[in-house]
Amino acid sequence: MTVEPIRDKKKINQLYQYLNGGNPKYALIFKFGINTGLRIGDIISLRADDIFLNEWSFKEYLILKEKKTTK
């Protein structure tokens, strides 16, 4: 069995809307994964301090070591 990525932008948007309707937390995780290409295990391990500076302003970059590939 092979797993293929979803390439159709319309289907990606439909999935995002579905997730956002149920629980916005899952929609945010989905959107973050789509835009970064990270695996779910790497996304889940992130903390707010990894992404935000004080007063909720974003850091300019994020450095992390992927669990599976160790890159």
pLDDT class for 68, splitting at 50, 70, 90? Answer: confident
Q: Is the pLDDT of residue 71 over 80?
A: no
* Cβ neighbours of residue 29 closer than 8 Å, sequence gap 6 or more: 40, 43, 44
Q: Is the pLDDT of residue 56 over 90?
A: no
Distance CA 6, CA 63 (A): 26
Write down the pLDDT at residue 55. Answer: 77
Write down the pLDDT at residue 1. Answer: 85
63: nearest Cα among 50, 49, 53: 50
Three-state SS for the chain is CCCCCCCCHHHHHHHHHHHHHHCHHHHHHHHHHHHHCCCHHHHHCCCHHHHECHHHCECCCCCCCCCCCCC
Q: What is the pLDDT of residues 7-52, one digit of tens each?
A: 999 999 999 999 999 999 999 999 999 998 899 999 999 988 888 8
Break the chain into its structural domains and give their ranges.
9-46
